[in-house]
Amino acid sequence: MPARHPGRSPSPVPPTLPTWPPQVSQEQHDHLLNLGTTFALSHGFTLLPPDSTTPPTHTFSAPLSLFPTPFPRGLYEWAKDLQPLYNGLYARIAMDWEFLDRVMGGVAKVDSFQGELWRGWKSCREDLVQPLQLGVFRSDYLLHQTSGAGPLELKQVEFNTIASSFGALSQRAGEMHRYLCKTTNYFSASSYLSLPNMPHNLSLRDIAAGLADAWKAYGREDAQILFVVQAGERNVFDQRWLEYELLERHGIKTIRHTFEHLEDLAQIDRTTKRLLLPSQLEPSAAPTEIAVIYYRSAYTPVDYPSHAEWTTRVLLERSKAIKCPSMALQLAGAKKIQQVLTEPGVLESFLFGPERPDVGWGKGAGNIGQRAADELRKTWIGLWPLDQSMLGREALEMALNQPERFVMKPQREGGGNNIYRNDIPPALAALDDQPRKSGEADKKEGYILMELITPPQGVSNWLLKGGESKARKADVVSELGVYGVMLFVDDQGREVNESGVEAVNKAAGTLLRTKGRESDEGGVAIGISSIDSPLLI
């Protein structure tokens, strides 16, 4: 399968983005803001407040942008076209035990969280009974423009393999901007603000369809999908919309539990390895069989306050239910994997060769060609290890002498963990000061060094923080996420699923998060980033 959609010629990329946002009067601004927030509240484009009760008694709109934000049409189309390649790449990584052991086994020596995940996976991988795996992915990108005048490029920030959120709310954001355009024409403030430039985004529909595909592949009509969630989840509406979509469009029931609940409830049938959950509300009812385990937690150390949560995670991994993601697929999404892929020949080793399993690139497509590797590498920015290798020593020297060029990343998801610019040298010094036992690995090896992406200047927008009634105008940076769904068979010497399920591999909509340029970190729930939609130019 070629990297671009067959028959599609890429749209030209403009040299600059238009000055934004367009001018409207104060009365027009207030009217747009009122229409946007009431649309959000009436369509579940919402978050729970921090002090929410159970059941909740009030909510507010999710952080939003008043206008859609300009984004090059050609780069938007290209990012979506690349997603099946990325899906298949990370599926192949998850199936390569030797590669994961080599890379993550090293990280495990200096990162306790990744170490527990890797060792937990190793403890059960020889006995897994479910060869099907499901990935709901998101590849995140920023626009990059060197020296303020070069061509606009698309550079990957990271690839997410677990708990890729905001699919439902992203669809609602696009619907809100289209509604504002239909009802007001944005007061003819800009010729760019027209419906053909506002792409239909069906991320909610497509992600739910991917979960439904896995449920169907499991083959039991009375089984349900388990959402493993965090206690006190504020982004609950994003998850609930998926549940409603699964029920209304596909007739699939879902059930929600935290790890704490599952410690007491989860049972595995000794013979069939089916995952069974007794009802807390109907103790006399038959247990519910689980077809798919969909993790919206389990990606941060906070989700594992004790060893009991790790024991539960391994128990779920051993069950017949299809995991989204498996522990292997979660490991594949580590920042260290992203860095190692950039080393010479590593990417090509996963793309080429008839011995590689089919992952939906087309029947018999063991070798998809050098063009695919070139297309993926175009989206990458500089990445280095922080170890004792030649590349690692080079990276350390750059980090100490030119820290303003870089961000230092640990093996963490969820935001708020990165170290930027001039904070890097003292952070490295602090890691060196940590006591180490004889022969213990350097703590720096748990991090990677990444060249900073430089977004273009001159784009602003009106951003509304959840719970507030006034928007603020900010110089903004927008991050494009492309969702992907991947259902694949990993036999690893086990008997292939008897249903003969073929791989599902597709893009599944997009997410645009927009934040003020002054902030390095994002975060929708705390109001730093707003859920936006692209205006294609």
Q: Does the annotation mark 249 as catalytic?
A: no
Q: Does the annotation mark 335 as catalytic?
A: yes
Q: Does the annotation mark 405 as catalytic?
A: no
For residue 21, give the nearest of 459, 471, 463, 479 by alpha carbon: 459
Q: Does the annotation mark 153 as catalytic?
A: no
d(CA 382, CA 265): 46
Q: At what angle do helices 307-318 and 112-124 cross, to 10 degrees?
A: 30
**CB 93, CB 101: distance < 8 Å:** no
Phi, psi for 491 (deg, rounded to 5): -80, -40
Other C-beta atoms closer than 10 Å to the C-beta of 122 total 17
According to DSSP, the β-strands at 224-228 and 288-295 are parallel
Active-site choice (138, 274, 320, 444)? 138
Active-site choice (414, 467, 516, 527)? 414
Question: End-to-end distance of the chain based on CA atoms, in angstroms?
Answer: 27
Residue 295, H or E segment? strand 288-295
**DSSP category for residue 319:** S
Residue 439, H or E segment? none
Q: Does the annotation mark 497 as catalytic?
A: no
**CB 448, CB 103: distance < 8 Å:** no
Per the annotation, binding residues for substrate are: 138, 162-165, 233-235, 239, 296-299, 513, 524-525
Active-site choice (87, 413, 466, 533)? 413
Angle formed at CA 135 by CA 139 and CA 530, multiple of 5 degrees:
40
d(CA 49, CA 58): 8
Per the annotation, binding residues for ATP are: 158, 335, 409-418, 420, 450-453, 479, 515, 521
In sequence order, the β-bridge partners of residue 46 are 61
**DSSP category for residue 459:** B
**CB 95, CB 490: distance < 8 Å:** yes
Per the annotation, binding residues for Mg(2+) are: 158, 160, 413
Cα-based distances in Å from 402 to 144, 204, 427, 476: 19, 42, 14, 25
User: Which is it for the CA torsion 96, 102, 104, 105, positive or negative?
Assistant: positive
Per the annotation, binding residues are: 138, 158, 160, 162-165, 233-235, 239, 296-299, 335, 409-418, 420, 450-453, 479, 513, 515, 521, 524-525
Q: Does the annotation mark 243 as catalytic?
A: no
Active-site choice (65, 87, 160, 203)? 160
**CB 260, CB 254: distance < 8 Å:** no
**CB 136, CB 60: distance < 8 Å:** no
Where would I find the H helices in 304-384?
Answer: 307-318, 327-332, 335-341, 346-351, 370-378
d(CA 216, CA 201): 24
d(CA 354, CA 366): 4
Q: Does the annotation mark 279 as catalytic?
A: no
Active-site choice (77, 116, 158, 245)? 158
Task: List CB contacts of 30: < 8 A, sequence separation 6 or more.
Answer: none
Q: Does the annotation mark 444 as catalytic?
A: no
Active-site choice (320, 335, 356, 443)? 335
d(CA 238, CA 242): 7
Q: Does the annotation mark 414 as catalytic?
A: yes
The number of CA neighbours under 13 Å toward the Cβ of 456 is: 22
Phi, psi for 86 (deg, rounded to 5): -65, -40
Q: Would you put residue 281 in left (φ > 0), alpha (ψ -120 to 50) or beta?
A: alpha
Give the active site residues: 138, 158, 160, 165, 335, 409, 413-414, 513
